[in-house]
Amino acid sequence: MHYKNNYYLSKRRNKKKKSTHFKLISIALACAFVAISSYAFFSTTTPLIDSTELPPSIAVLSNELKVVKAPVATQTTLIKKANTHSLQSLSTIWQKHEIKSGESISLIFSKNDLSRSDLHKIIHANEIGRQFAEITPGKTLLIGQNISGKLSHLVYQVNLSKEIKATRLEDGSFKVELITKEIETRIAHASGTIESSLFWAGKEAGLSDRLVMQLANIFAWDIDFALSLRAGDQFSLIYEKQFINDKFLNTGEILAAEFIKQGHSIKAVRYQDPAGKISYYTPSGESMRKAFLRTPIDFSRISSRFNLRRKHPVLNKIRAHKGVDYAARTGTPIKSTGDGKIIFRGTKGGYGNVVIIKHGQRYSTLYAHLSKFKRGQRTGTRLSQGDIIGYVGKSGLATGPHLHYEFRVNGVHRNPLTVKLPNATPIKKIYIADFIEKASLLFAQLAEITPSQLAVAQP
């Protein structure tokens, strides 16, 4: 029995040894297969980008790098071939800062954790650099920083055609320069017919608010736009349009204009004499500018005319109305109609807040029911025609916001709507020939424009 057991055990041990050898051989073969497969897979290389096919710009280079999954060494080679300027631009991080009211350049640097030493270098780099200390609210600053966080660029957008740029140099100093874009001026024209107001007719003719106001100012001495306009009145004008790189920038000056009011034509042309004086003149060389504006408020409505037998709306009794009332919103600016000096500024009975201006020896004007006065002025302040003196209100005896305006000649009240206004100085005789030569060309072009040529003016 013992013999049989020993024999049985020896047979079992031989079977286990054979089984173990077989497993080892199988594992070895499997490992060899995996090793060979791995070698074959990982030995396959991605082809490098041919240096002769390198793109000319960083922008295109970036696209290439995104498409081709090249090894790190290949990317390094590509970057080395890029020019230094493009690489600097690529590594600059830009942020746009809108300048707010009360912000100084120093405060902006503090808010953005920028070096005060860099600010000192920029401002004192040259005379242009000092303009960074004179930034104004509403404008834009572009701040460029490199990947280490240091300021590399600072750009102040003065206007659409001008910017001031500071660029860090290798020695840590800054190059500050004024960059201007060339403005191209083109001649345009427009015309229109009044239906309800000059403002809406101007909009229909494709004019900007600025051009409509400029047109009104040219004829302000001859036309009361609150009273005189009638449906069917017409206007035509030749003006400038400004472009930068074929992109519209702004409108320029009106060169010539015509207003046909109830069949009566009034023409004006812009002329700069050899001495540098610029103004608008009639075809005969008389100045369009008069000593007084016809109205003290732009685009208002007359609510009460000059009438010596008018019944007062508050007192309900006959009381001479020795001026003209212009209805307008509270806060509407009021302009001095002529050059002069303030001789009264304060409260005057039913007039409420009043300003009285003396214009030379013969003329004076009165402005009443103001909501408030223009800051910085007082009795004795000298004014130029068109200066703001206060704002429309309803102080004193007034049923609603309006301006009461009076015009006096030698102390006697005259109707502001019909009084003959004195003219300004005409063109000097020595410039008449030059004026006629230049003005005749513009008037000839103006004659070709008709109200049928409405809508957008041609660039």
HEC assignment per residue over 99-134: CCCCCCHHHHHHHCCCCHHHHHHHHCCCCCHHHHHH
Length of the chain in residues, anyone?
459
Distance CA 412, CA 30 (A): 122
What is the fold, at CATH topology level, of the domain defined by 91-180?
Nuclear Transport Factor 2; Chain: A, (3.10.450)
Query: What integer pLDDT is reported at residue 450 of this predicted model?
Result: 61
Low-confidence ranges of the chain (pLDDT < 50): 1-12, 15-18, 39-88, 301-319, 452-459
Distance CA 404, CA 371 (A): 12
CATH number for the region 187-290+429-447 comes to: 3.10.450.350
CB contact set of 224 (below 8 Å; sequence gap of 6+): 294, 295, 417
Query: What integer pLDDT is reported at residue 392 of this predicted model?
Result: 94
Q: What does residue 317 show for φ and ψ, rounded to 5 degrees?
A: -150, 160
Q: Do domains 91-180 and 187-290+429-447 have the same CATH topology?
A: yes
Query: What integer pLDDT is reported at residue 228 of this predicted model?
Result: 74
Tens of pLDDT, residue by residue over 18-67, are 455 566 666 666 666 655 555 444 444 333 333 333 333 333 333 333 33
Look at the pTM and tell me if it is higher than 0.75: no
| Closest residue by Cα to residue 280 from 228, 337, 238 | 238
Distance CA 360, CA 364 (A): 8
CATH number for the region 301-414 comes to: 2.70.70.10
Distance CA 356, CA 393 (A): 16
Q: Report domain extents, the chain.
A: 54-89, 91-180, 187-290+429-447, 301-414
